[in-house]
Structure formats: structure tokens, C-alpha cells
């Protein structure tokens, strides 16, 4: 019998189970020079990050292959594309978040772009991770809501987010992503994460505006399966800070001295 290869998604879930929750480092290559890109990827692997997400809202896409090759030369962490547009695909990556913007009502971001890019992913043999993507109001307009021409879910309406994620689960999606937006002033409220994780059995990724390890830990305690941090490391390039953030998310890992 042919043994099926474990998918990147199943490896991510296993890594999350081992650590209590998973830490995903988001790298927007436009924000790093080559040396600092390699440094943060190496440090993330050393401190036990679960995967690297790569993408950006205005990334120059033709260099994506090169960026991923550089990262994979220094770490064996899974590299997953977090696409800012359908132009961001690469055969060098291990998987791609196949995002459907379920919080919006713009058909292009719900299904249209997916139809365009599906045959390309098949050709590239790039694993799609079916992801229900929800924009959550963070107090200010975000690039994602502007570009997608869609409204975020009000931050004081956890039950609306929960109903969206339940619908995504019933539609067969694999994971939900609660997004406050890159560099958001206010991250996704814990009440909402709690409501979503109590209502649906989908694993939940939480990202946007997380700057402190304590904040990351609170997202996990509220029910997040994965925490994404990007912007904070662009502003504050410090190995110890990255390590503290990863340790805060890995609730099952004993702290090292
Ligand atoms: C953005 O959720 C990610 O799409 C991460 O946000 O860059 O604010 O950490 P930050």
C-alpha cells in the first residue's frame, strides 16, 4: 500500500499539539535586507518556531522564489505563503494559506481568485491549507479591508465571528484566521477568540498587533491554536524578544534558563 506523505498542515497540527499552541513568524521580505532575513529565520528555528509565514501586501512577487530559497537554505522550518495577492505563489514553498475572506461579501475574495489560482497551485504541487480568513475591526481601517473592499467584523461582536467560523467549518475549511491587521493598534479581543474556539472545532490562528509576549500568551489561553507575529520584530530586532514571544506561545514547553 502506498504510504500517504504527511501534509504540511498535519505536521503543523502535530507541532501545535506538542507545544500547546504554535508560533508562526510572519516575514514580509520587503521589510528585511538579506542578512536580517536570514538571521531572523535562523533564530526562529533555533528557538522552536513552528513555521514561517511569508507574504506582504505589496511584495514584489517575482522575488518570492529567491526569498524562500534563502530561508530554506538556513532552516528546515515549513515555509508557508500568506499571500497578499494571487501573484504570490512559488514552487519553493511548502504550502500556502488558501484564504477565503469569509468576513466579507466580495465574491472575488470568497471564491473568484481561488478559481484563478487553483490550477496554478496544482501545477506547482503547492499544498493549499483551506483557511477561513476573518478581518476583525482594530479601531482603524486596514490595508486588507481597503484592498478587499470589505468591512471587518465589529470587535464587540464575538458571536458574529463565531457564527462565521462555524459556517466555515460546515463548509469544510480546515482552519480559521482571526486578523486584526498588520501593525494593528488593538489585537483580536480574547472574548472573541474564546467565543470562536468554544463554538467551532476548527483550529484558530490569531494575528495582528501582537507586540508583547504576555499578549500572545493571553490569546493562547483564550483558545488560539496558533499566534502570528510579524510587525513587532521589524520594529524591535532582538533575539531575546523573539525567544520570549515563542516561549509565551509554547505553553507546554518548560522555560529554559
Ligand atoms: C498580519 O496577522 C499578521 O497579517 C501579523 O500581524 O504584523 O501586526 O504582527 P503583525
Candidates 103, 177, 178, 210: which one to mutate for ligand 1, based on the most atoms within 8 Å of Cβ? 210
* Per-residue model confidence (pLDDT) at position 35: 93
Q: Is the CB of 56 under 6 A from ligand 1?
A: no
Residue 1 has pLDDT above 70, yes or no: no
Q: Is the CB of 216 under 6 A from ligand 1?
A: no
pLDDT confidence band for 253 (50 / 70 / 90): low
pLDDT confidence band for 6 (50 / 70 / 90): confident
Q: How far is the CA of 3 from the centre of ligand 1 (A)?
A: 37
Q: How far is the CA of 189 from the centre of ligand 1 (A)?
A: 15
Task: Give percent above pLDDT 70 in the chain.
Answer: 95
Mean per-residue pLDDT over the chain, rounded: 94
Residue 255 has pLDDT above 70, yes or no: no
Q: Is the CB of 161 under 6 A from ligand 1?
A: no
Q: Is the CB of 230 under 6 A from ligand 1?
A: yes
CATH of 8-20+93-249 given 2.60.120.380, 3.20.20.390, 3.40.50.300, 3.40.640.10: 3.20.20.390
Going by alpha carbons, the residue nearest to atom 6 of ligand 1 is 208
Q: Is the CB of 207 under 6 A from ligand 1?
A: yes
- Is 173 in contact with 139 (CB distance < 8 Å)? no
* Per-residue model confidence (pLDDT) at position 245: 98
74-131: per-residue pLDDT in tens?
999 999 999 998 889 999 999 999 999 999 999 999 999 999 999 999 999 999 999 9
165-184: per-residue pLDDT in tens?
999 999 999 999 999 999 99
Q: How far is the CA of 229 from the centre of ligand 1 (A)?
A: 5
Residue 257 has pLDDT above 60, yes or no: no
pLDDT confidence band for 235 (50 / 70 / 90): confident
pLDDT confidence band for 228 (50 / 70 / 90): very high
The number of the ligand 1 atom at minimal distance from the alpha carbon of 232 is 9
- Which residues are registered as beta bridge partners of 127? 95
The number of the ligand 1 atom at minimal distance from the alpha carbon of 231 is 7
- The set of long-range contacts for 243-246, using a CB threshold of 8 Å and a minimum separation of 24, is 243/43, 243/47, 244/213, 245/23, 245/213, 245/216, 246/23, 246/44, 246/47, 246/48, 246/49
The torsion defined by the Cα of 154, 175, 214 and 40, in degrees rounded to 10, comes to -120
Positive or negative torsion for Cα 109, 110, 115, 118: positive
Pairwise CA distance, residues 169 & 176, whole Å = 9
Amino acid at each position: 500500500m502506498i504510504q500517504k506523505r504527511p501534509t504540511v498542515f498535519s505536521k503543523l497540527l502535530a507541532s501545535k499539539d506538542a507545544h500547546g499552541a504554535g508560533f508562526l513568524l510572519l516575514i514580509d521580505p520587503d521589510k528585511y535586507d538579506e542578512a536580517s532575513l536570514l538571521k531572523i529565520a535562523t533564530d526562529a528555528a533555533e528557538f522552536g518556531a513552528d513555521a514561517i509565514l511569508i507574504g506582504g501586501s505589496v511584495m514584489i512577487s517575482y522575488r518570492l522564489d529567491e526569498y524562500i530559497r534563502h530561508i530554506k537554505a538556513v532552516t528546515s522550518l515549513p515555509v508557508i505563503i500568506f499571500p497578499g495577492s494571487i501573484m504570490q505563489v512559488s514552487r519553493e514553498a511548502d504550502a500556502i494559506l488558501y484564504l477565503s475572506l469569509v468576513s466579507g461579501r466580495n465574491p472575488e475574495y470568497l471564491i473568484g481568485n481561488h478559481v484563478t489560482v487553483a490550477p496554478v497551485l496544482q501545477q506547482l504541487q503547492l499544498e493549499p491549507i483551506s483557511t477561513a480568513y476573518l478581518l476583525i475591526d482594530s479601531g482603524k481601517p486596514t490595508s486588507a479591508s481597503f484592498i478587499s473592499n470589505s468591512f471587518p467584523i465589529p470587535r464587540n461582536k464575538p458571536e458574529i465571528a463565531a457564527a462565521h467560523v462555524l459556517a466555515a467549518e460546515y463548509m469544510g475549511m480546515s482552519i480559521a484566521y482571526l486578523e486584526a491587521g498588520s501593525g494593528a493598534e488593538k489585537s483580536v479581543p480574547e472574548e472573541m477568540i474564546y467565543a470562536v474556539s468554544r463554538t467551532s472545532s476548527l483550529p484558530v490562528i490569531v494575528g495582528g498587533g501582537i507586540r508583547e509576549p504576555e499578549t500572545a500568551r493571553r490569546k493562547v489561553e483564550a483558545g488560539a491554536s496558533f499566534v502570528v507575529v510579524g510587525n513587532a520584530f521589524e520594529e524591535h530586532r532582538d533575539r531575546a524578544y523573539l525567544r520570549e514571544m515563542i516561549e509565551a506561545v509554547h505553553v507546554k514547553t518548560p522555560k529554559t534558563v
